[in-house]
Amino acid sequence: MYLCVRKIGETENNDDGEYVGHKEVGYWRKVNQIHKYFDNLIGGIENCEDYVITQEQLEDLHHTCKVVLADHDLAEHLLPTTSGCFFGGLDYDDYYFKSLEHTLEILENVLTGTDFTKFEILYGASW
């Protein structure tokens, strides 16, 4: 699972037919609660597809992670785990909460380092 940034309006190929890459700004491995958050937000994620995520949506996830880290009892309600092939564990354990701390770091960097008038953030996953 990853977040990438790309310039608004750019597609996979520029006018000369050259590939225009995305810059990765966040990466998760086996952090199914974050994937579930984006899957619910988007209404179903396809393998290897990219989805535009708004600044407001990233701010909401940032806030939700902070709330769950402040009160672990809210984890199952606000950021529940989900099962699936290659999706990692279902326990609300140290790994779960460390992954939320990692998510906060990613989101803080993206939110403070992105000019949302010029760039868009994409979420994608492959399994």
**Structural domain spans, the chain:** 30-124
| pTM as predicted | 0.88
Q: What is the distance of C-alpha 19 from the center of its chain?
A: 24
Q: Which residue has the tokens 């750019």?
A: 10
Reported as a single tens digit per residue, the pLDDT across 64-102 is 999 999 999 999 999 999 987 667 889 999 999 999 999
Q: Which pair of tokens denotes residue 29? A: 């491995």
Please state, rounded to an integer, the average pLDDT across all residues of the chain.
90
pLDDT at residue 19, as a whole number: 46
pLDDT at residue 70, as a whole number: 98
Reported as a single tens digit per residue, the pLDDT across 37-46 is 999 999 988 8
To the nearest 10 degrees (0 to 180), the angle between helices 94-113 and 32-42 is 50
Half-sphere exposure of 114 (CA within 13 A, CB side): 28
Side chain identity at 119, as an amino acid letter? F
